[in-house]
Structures are given as structure tokens and as C-alpha cells.
Amino acid sequence: MRPRYTPFMTDKTRINLPFMKMHGLGNDFVVVDARDQQFPASDSVIKSIADRNRGVGFDQLAVIEESDTDAHLVFYNADGSTSAVCGNATRCIARYLMDESGKTELSLSTKHGVLQARDVGEGYTSVNMGPPQILWHDIPLSEDVDTLHLPIPGDPVATNMGNPHCTFFVQDAESVDLQTRAASIEHHPLFPQRTNVQFASLIGGNHIRMRVWERGVGVTLASGSSACATVVAAVRRGLTGHNVRIDLDGGRLKVDWSNEGVWLSGPTMHVFSGTFTSEFLENDT
């Protein structure tokens, strides 16, 4: 069932906008179901909600809207910027909508396109993130370079999975100082829209250890699109097959790059539901 709500009003005594806190392997989200209500998605409101001390805190804010598909999803990063897609948030919302509707398969529209989601059993929810984009102008990069071997120290791979990704293959992902190394890569001039950054180590035939710096967020425990981009990069480099386990700081995801697209599978968690007050939503400080 959808969270109960009362219409958005200016009376600061009213409690009026419900939300859900969800996560996929610690990659955490605030989700607002706006199919029956208006969400005041201003930059100041988004940043206020993202504040882990004065708000709720999230890696991404996701808004569910009405659509000709089962739903339309809009994503915001913690810094207020938008993202075309978020794999783990899409899986969490798909689970919520499946529980609500009784369906086991859904079509969800995003700025990245229409994504197919399905229940794959044992508590796992899977979403097809679509085919990867590997041409320089599709990622996009600022110049025509080899996306399999970027001219950046460390020889990373560039991929677009609805947002730009830069993947480094290293001996030991555990030892990488993400804060020091990844922050500057996010803003590298080769990426005009900035980039997500991954450091990955091969620990088995089709088994990868990967850590993530997320564009507009920073260090995060997991990232679905980053997991997909890392597998695409590994396959292109000849390091793995197409069906790979990815161990992140927050747990394990499964990625299968098939002819249909890149399928991302893993657990989801609806942690709690709450309600924003109009006093909070109207406070820009």
C-alpha cells in the first residue's frame, strides 16, 4: 500500500509529505511516491533532505511519478544534481511497486529509457540497465579517445550506463584511498558531465572486488550502475565472462551482460517510512 499523505500546504503545523528510506547494499535512498501528490523538488529542498545531520541523508533521492509505463522515476544526487538512472534505487522501487501491485515484472521509464525489472526469487530483484554505451561521444568524453584505454594515469576504461563511469583495474582495490584518488577523477576535463569512479580487482574467474566513488555523492557502499560499468569494462578487457559477481563495500551484486542488456540483481531493503513536515520543506537554511 502507498504511504498515507495529506496535500502539501503552507501551514507549518501540518505533517504532509510521506517518504520511504530504502537501500541496496548500503547504497541508500530517500524515495517519494509522487503519483498522488506534488513534490517540491527545488535545489534547496533536495540538499536539505540529503543532509545527514539536519535532514534524512541519502546517496540518491528518487521520485516516483505517473507514467504510461508502470511508473516514471526521477533521480537526484546528494549535491542536488540530477542523474539519468540509478540501478540500486530502481531495484528498490521495483520491489516496492511489485509488492503493491502483485506483479513480478515491471516496465519503468527513466531519463535513460524504459527499464525492465523482475522478481528473480530468493529476495533478489533484477533490473535491465540496457546496453552499455562505449563510444566516446555517447559517454560523453570531451575528445575522441580510445574508451578502452583512456589517456589518464592508471589506464582506466570509460563506459556509460545511463551516466558516465571511469573504471580502474588495480591489484588491490581494498588499499585504494578513494577520497584522495577518485575526487579529482570525477572532475577530470575528459568528462564534461563529471564521472563515477570505480577501482576494481579480479579475485576469481568471474568474481570482482570493486569500490566506488559516486558522482555528486562521494564514497558510497555500493552502486548498481558502477557494478554494471565495471563488468562491461572487464569483459571488454578480456578479464571475465559476461556473468560476474561483484563484491562491494556493502555486499554482493550479480551482473549479467546479455544480448538483452546488462542485468543487475541483488537484495533490497525498505528500512522505514516517514513524513516530512512543511516546516522542514519550507526552511531553506
Residue 194 in contact with residue 186, Cβ under 8 Å? yes
> Do the two domains 15-128+268-281 and 157-259 of this chain adopt the same fold?
yes
At residue 7, does pLDDT exceed 70?
no
CATH class name, domain 157-259: alpha beta
- Give tens-digit pLDDT for 28-71: 999 999 998 888 888 999 999 999 999 999 999 999 999 999 99
282: number of Cβ within 10 Å: 13
pTM here is 0.90
In the chain, DSSP finds a helix count (H) and a strand count (E) of: 5, 17
Going from N- to C-terminal start, the domains of the chain cover 15-128+268-281, 157-259
- Give tens-digit pLDDT for 180-236: 999 999 999 999 999 999 999 999 889 999 999 999 899 999 999 999 999 999 999
DSSP letter for each residue of 155-181: --EEEESSSEEEEEE-S-GGG--HHHH
Tell me the average pLDDT across 18-24: 97
pLDDT for res 282:
84
- Which long-range CB contacts under 8 A does 117-123 form with residues at least 24 apart? 117/90, 117/91, 118/94, 119/95, 120/265, 123/267
Residue 2 is classified by DSSP as P
At residue 85, does pLDDT exceed 70?
yes
Cell of 96: 516496492
How far apart CA 239 and CA 15 sit, in angstroms, is 53
pLDDT for res 40:
87
Cell of 119: 522478481
DSSP letter for each residue of 240-255: S-SEEEEEETTEEEEE
CATH class name, domain 15-128+268-281: alpha beta
- Give tens-digit pLDDT for 93-114: 999 999 999 999 999 999 999 9
For residues 144-183, one letter each, b for 16 or more C-beta atoms within 10 angstroms of the residue's C-beta and e for the rest, the string is: eeebeebeeeeebbbbbbbbbbbbbbbeebeebebeebbe
Helix (H, G, I), strand (E, B) or coil at 28: strand
Share of the chain above pLDDT 90, in %: 86
Q: Which burial class, exposed, middle or buried, applies to 239 when counting CB atoms under 10 A from its CB (0-12, 13-18, 19+)? A: middle
Contacts of 151 (CB under 8 A, 6+ apart): 145, 190
